[in-house]
Amino acid sequence: MLKRTHRNNNVLQYNLFYKYLKDHILHRNGT
């Protein structure tokens, strides 16, 4: 259970990081 929670947390952080990176790149290209 702890392992699964840790894995989900990693996925959540990865998704947040990817979203931030994507938004950052889009903003750079848009400017």
Indicate the DSSP class of residue 8: H
Give the Cα separation of 12 and 17 in Å (integer).
Answer: 9
Predicted pLDDT at 3: 76
> How far out from the chain centre does Cα 5 lie?
16
What is the DSSP annotation of 18-31?
HHHHHHHHHHHHH-
Whole-Å CA distances, 28 to 3, 6, 7, 10: 37, 33, 31, 27
> pTM above the 0.95 mark?
no
Per-residue pLDDT of 1-31, as tens digits, reads 667 777 888 899 999 999 999 998 888 876 6
Cβ atoms < 10 Å from Cβ of 23? 10
